[in-house]
Amino acid sequence: MKYLYITLLVLTIVACKKQLPEIKPTVITEKLPHDSDDPAIWINKQDPEKSIVFGTDKDEVNGGVYAFDLDGKLIKEKSITNINYPNNVDVEYDFKINDSTKTDILVFSEREKHQLRLFSVPDLKPLDNGGFKVFEDETDVEMKRPMGISLYKNPKNGNISVIVSRKNGPTENYLHQYEFISDSLGIKANLVRKFGKFSGNKEIEAIAVDDTLGYVYYSDEGVGIRKYYANPEQGNEEIKLFGGEHFKDDIEGIAIATYEGDKGYIIVSDQQDHTFNFFKRSDNMFVKKLNLGTLETDGCDVTTTALGTKYPNGLFVSMNDEKDFFLHALDSLKITE
């Protein structure tokens, strides 16, 4: 029966992929030891060709956040290991340590320790004194286990916060948002709000924030994509629920390709269809579906910044269910605006 199931699964995947032409990746990264999940692109503003793709590798004992160069080669000295089930990862720029010091940061969820980790980039030094606990007021252990994260930088004051989802949660206030505060005693993660509806169908993992337009999007996996304001001061009312009719099953990773003004795309993984759906950033209307060759994609990330000759108009990175990540030059996706 096991082999019959595997055969049927492979035939199903092949049938799905035949419906759309495959856009082959520019680069495939080296393999991870355990279970690839979510990528984040850090842009080296001094030398874009030396930018880094970080990717989580899920394992309860020896998980990690691994670093790759733009040729897909592992950068061992920039990788973080011995992590208890790292789930999602994100980066942000110019976090204010004090009046005279700023650093880029990398944040990821450590599910089995019920916490977030915060490191500087590119030197990968811990800034969190071992981690920030999340969902502390919950008594159910399952509701304490963080999964998805996305960083939000308020364009008005430069403050950085993180929005966190979890393995299981209530139908209201599924997400928590924590602001990173640095003072003479160190860095803290202060809870600033609880928000976000949940259908009760499957779970919520993928989150992405559009800093410029001020929106947060997250995948209510069995229903659709939910949209809220990223700034707590603008309230907790849902703006929109959209896109569900365009997915086969499990609405997963979200990436936001930003261009001038409100141009660009919300890119979302249709996990069981092994494809990606594109929605307009301006009004969230469906645009198209693409087959990028990945299987069972969880997380993805994108930048429209030029990263050298190989990625002259930007880069899209997506998790592939074979312990690696696919890197596509944005030119190949034909989404430049």
214-259 tens-digit pLDDT: 999 999 999 999 999 999 999 999 999 999 999 998 999 999 999 9
Phi, psi (deg, nearest 5) at residue 296? 50, 50
User: Can you tell me the mean pLDDT for 82-108?
Assistant: 96
pLDDT band for position 8 (cuts 50, 70, 90) = very low
- Judge contact between 56 and 33, C-beta under 8 A: no
Residue 151 has pLDDT above 80, yes or no: yes
Helix H segments across the chain?
Answer: 2-18, 330-333
Please tell me the distance from the alpha carbon of residue 27 to that of residue 326, in angstroms, as a whole number: 6
pLDDT band for position 330 (cuts 50, 70, 90) = very high
Please tell me the distance from the alpha carbon of residue 337 to that of residue 259, in angstroms, as a whole number: 7
Cis peptide bond N-terminal to 122, omega within 30 = yes
Residue 13 has pLDDT above 50, yes or no: no
The long-range contacts involving 63-69, CB below 8 angstroms and separated by at least 24 positions, are 63/34, 64/32, 64/33, 65/89, 65/106, 65/108, 66/32, 67/124, 68/29, 68/30, 68/325
| CB burial of residue 190 (10 Å; 0-12, 13-18, 19+) | exposed
Please tell me the distance from the alpha carbon of residue 111 to that of residue 73, in angstroms, as a whole number: 27
- The half-sphere exposure of 281 on its side-chain side, counting CA atoms within 13 A, is 25
CA dihedral defined by 275, 207, 96, 154, rounded to 10 degrees?
Answer: 110
Phi, psi (deg, nearest 5) at residue 10? -60, -45
Looking at domain 23-333, its CATH class is mainly beta
Residue 70 has pLDDT above 70, yes or no: yes
- Judge contact between 316 and 302, C-beta under 8 A: yes
pLDDT band for position 192 (cuts 50, 70, 90) = very high
Integer angstrom CA distances of residue 21 from 29, 258, 292, 293: 22, 25, 9, 9
Structure tokens at 134: 């999340």
Phi, psi (deg, nearest 5) at residue 5? -60, -45
pLDDT band for position 100 (cuts 50, 70, 90) = confident
254-286 pLDDT per residue, tens: 999 999 999 999 999 999 999 999 999 999 999
- Judge contact between 96 and 179, C-beta under 8 A: no
114-148 pLDDT per residue, tens: 999 999 999 999 999 999 999 999 999 989 999 99
pLDDT band for position 9 (cuts 50, 70, 90) = very low
Please tell me the distance from the alpha carbon of residue 95 to that of residue 207, in angstroms, as a whole number: 20
Residue 213 has pLDDT above 50, yes or no: yes
pLDDT band for position 19 (cuts 50, 70, 90) = confident
